[in-house]
Structure 1
């Protein structure tokens, strides 16, 4: 009889120990959301990301803006005048005139200002593209965190709901036993107090779930519906040293900082050009028509000409001699900013190393916490069953059962939290390594956004009327998304192994 009872307790303990694991997995209907799907929606619709793309397109325009300083400048003018008061001693002055003019200025030598300014702009375009990669990884990290938060908080709500249900059953059983004199009023009070605390914990977990769902909506643009368990993350490093080695080569923040150093060095050359001579070629022409308003004839009896034309060509040389120290101040300023960029590169490199090592340590620690907590869940499940069995024969009190149930709940919550923390930390490792972008994660949907496409489109643009279409909103708003609730799906509970 005792052997049969022990086997029953063992099977129930194994089943209870599996609840914390099962709590991380929700029933997945045909249209369940995947992590890849959530990332794809954020990739298309997150305003932080779409705004960063627009910012980079604006950054691209600095290259043609700087190139324009080295290209010919063509301008025309037209003037019409009515002479209201004629000079008293002028008998051949026109009373009206129409003048047309044109001028072409061709920069020949600018002391290296244009060349260095264009180089600096190109380096900043490359830095901006790296920043866009970093923004993408940051948004994806937030989406992964929000996705896992929703899964975790659903599991915690479910665990608290089950705990409340169990405690209500305990309270009813305790009250029944009190009625027949088997237990005391103290036992009933303890059961009622523990139920009240559990109901408070349930309300707290429901509020946390609502907050997690709203954070998900903010990032993804849609409500989280039937989230599936996340896939195994690819390309995780074997050691922290491996992760750091990859991060130093591919982290976008380091790449951006390096390009900004190069841009700052080019700024020094552009500043030095302010004290160099400048040479330009100039061609101009003009046409004037006095509209028949010149009266009189010349000494030969010919009527004065009513139109004139002119054309000139030449070179213009500007040689700065003294500018009050402005050029040297600008050079020193650019040199100091280059020093700042170099130090900023070192600071970012340090930060990336620290982030990578910290994320790797957190990932490994949570993996060990998961293994230990799984054992704790299993042990506390067995302990709870044992305490209940011992209470039935009078060797354990109601308080012992309540404490065992609380410990079992705590370890279950710790397990689902550790699973969430481990996954998020592992993704943070990938982000620090520069491997958490759309091209690395198999994002579902259409073609990926390539900032190089826009840069190639505009870098050689010299037409003054080549505007883009009117700006339109790219990200979706969330005004029509219903407010999040604390509703949770039912457990998918597997029966005990036979």
Structure 2
């Protein structure tokens, strides 16, 4: 299935050197996020369960030797030599194991498939976290910028109010209202700055580097028109659900492997014996005899279980109980996928409506503030009216940037729930994508007892060298959010106001 590229279209255009794009953040997380790299290591460990299971059905070669020294001997040296060295080397070939090996291998192979789906799910979840963190930084930078602008405007208002109070144009109450609003705005700015710092630190924990000047994220692809269509895609492609279903399927082979312990097992052994009495055979008997010898042996073994004290029955019941657990887990995961898909769809749709309403509110509040300021200049509006209009404009702007963040994050979460937010879907161009099948193909037929991948080292990058983040805003406010209203009123005595005539 050819899936749509999330970061297609405008995102393919080269970005300015100083700017950072969402694609670049996702590429860094894909390469060095410890959650992803740890899951890859876990998958490599799961791959090894297949050759481990296969080894139980392959021939084995072993060699044994022993040396004995009689300290007290009875009889003569022909029946009881003083020293003896024995050796054996042979090959044992399992011929029939009752299906235990076959089913163990199938269970291991199915769990490898489940692990690959889990790896896809972990990647999609991490990408969703990165998208959320990326948009959190953009949102919080905008909110800090808006609050900074609000503090600056209210500070200007307070100075104007104090000057007008000095000439008797305003009352002490007007000045107190301006002082209160400015103090509240400064407190809100401090809170917004702390939130921005937390968002930047969270970004570092996911991506591995501090966020620079972040570019707006590219548009999401067309999303399903209905929640039912989204759920249908999720039930078909969700990696979390596929992993749970594969884990459930693997337990069927576990039950069969446990039952195989009740069946006969048959094997063949071929070997070579060697013994040497080290000159002690017949010593002191007045004649010499051969002190060493070899022999080739071949044999078969048949093991027929008759009574095993209930161990096999317990193992079968245990495997059946674990299968029941896996079946319920698959059902639970299906429920979670459906709920996550529907909730993401609902949040995405509602955020679209909130964006429309917030854009209308910002436009209306901007016009309202302009009118209130004009009316205040002729004495028909109070300072409190201006302060309220300023706060309403700020609130609508914060609502707008929050809704834009929520809509994008929910839309990406919907793609992830549907199984369409993986590395291949995103078109990441930071080099070849990690292929879990390559390691599986490398190890599945390995029979080398001395094979090793060497001492593992860290893949994920550390962030100890990253400086503590600040609340400094890296880019100016969006033109849509930066209101053109004249918010620096000229000082006036108000002598021309109607209430002063």
Match of 2:452 in 1: 467
Match of 2:260 in 1: 273
Offset at residue 340 of structure 1 (A): 2.3
Aligned mates of 2:248, 2:302 — CA distance in 1: 33
Identify which of 247, 265, 270 aligns with 1:260.
247
1:409 aligns to 2:372 (yes or no) = no
| Pairs within 5 Å for 1:51-450 | 51-83=38-70, 85-92=71-78, 93-296=80-283, 303-450=288-435
Offset at residue 309 of structure 1 (A): 1.4
Offset at residue 345 of structure 1 (A): 1.6
Q: Deviation per CA, 1:60-83, whole angstroms, max 9, x where unpaired?
A: 111111111111121102233444
Quickly say closer, same or farther: Cα 1:481–1:29, change in 2 above 3 A: same
Q: Deviation per CA, 1:236-261, whole angstroms, max 9, x where unpaired?
A: 22221221111111001111111112
SS in 2 for 1:480: coil
Offset at residue 440 of structure 1 (A): 0.3
Aligned mates of 2:134, 2:416 — CA distance in 1: 16
- 8 Å Cα contact 1:272-1:331 kept in structure 2: yes
Q: Deviation per CA, 1:98-121, whole angstroms, max 9, x where unpaired?
A: 322113211111000000111011
Aligned mates of 1:297, 1:459 — CA distance in 2: 59
Offset at residue 427 of structure 1 (A): 0.3
Aligned mates of 1:362, 1:486 — CA distance in 2: 29
Structure 2 unaligned runs (5+)? Answer: 1-14, 485-501
Offset at residue 123 of structure 1 (A): 0.6
Match of 2:494 in 1: none
Aligned mates of 1:478, 1:437 — CA distance in 2: 25
- 8 Å Cα contact 1:67-1:114 kept in structure 2: yes
1:43 aligns to 2:35 (yes or no) = no
SS in 2 for 1:70: coil
Aligned mates of 1:284, 1:491 — CA distance in 2: 82
SS in 1 for 2:19: coil
Aligned mates of 1:450, 1:346 — CA distance in 2: 29
SS in 2 for 1:232: coil
Instruction: Out of 40-49 and 343-352, give the one that drifted further.
Output: 343-352
Aligned mates of 1:220, 1:236 — CA distance in 2: 26
- 8 Å Cα contact 2:77-2:280 kept in structure 1: no
Q: Deviation per CA, 1:333-380, whole angstroms, max 9, x where unpaired?
A: 222322222222222112111111110110010001000100000000
Aligned mates of 1:476, 1:486 — CA distance in 2: 24
Aligned mates of 2:454, 2:475 — CA distance in 1: 50
- 8 Å Cα contact 2:208-2:461 kept in structure 1: yes
Match of 2:437 in 1: 452
SS in 2 for 1:87: coil
Offset at residue 303 of structure 1 (A): 1.1
Quickly say closer, same or farther: Cα 1:77–1:324, change in 2 above 3 A: closer
Offset at residue 150 of structure 1 (A): 0.3
- 8 Å Cα contact 1:297-1:303 kept in structure 2: no
SS in 1 for 2:213: coil
- 8 Å Cα contact 2:77-2:284 kept in structure 1: no
The alignment's TM-score, normalised by the length of structure 1, stands at 0.91
- 8 Å Cα contact 2:273-2:295 kept in structure 1: yes
Aligned mates of 2:321, 2:458 — CA distance in 1: 40
Match of 1:15 in 2: none
Aligned mates of 1:231, 1:306 — CA distance in 2: 86
Aligned mates of 2:271, 2:396 — CA distance in 1: 86
What's the Cα RMSD here?
A: 1.6
The alignment's TM-score, normalised by the length of structure 2, stands at 0.90
- 8 Å Cα contact 2:142-2:477 kept in structure 1: no
Aligned mates of 1:115, 1:158 — CA distance in 2: 65
Q: Deviation per CA, 1:150-202, whole angstroms, max 9, x where unpaired?
A: 00000000000000000000001101101111001111111011000000000
- 8 Å Cα contact 2:151-2:186 kept in structure 1: yes
- 8 Å Cα contact 2:33-2:460 kept in structure 1: yes
SS in 2 for 1:434: coil
Quickly say closer, same or farther: Cα 1:180–1:44, change in 2 above 3 A: same
- 8 Å Cα contact 2:273-2:297 kept in structure 1: no
- 8 Å Cα contact 2:213-2:475 kept in structure 1: no
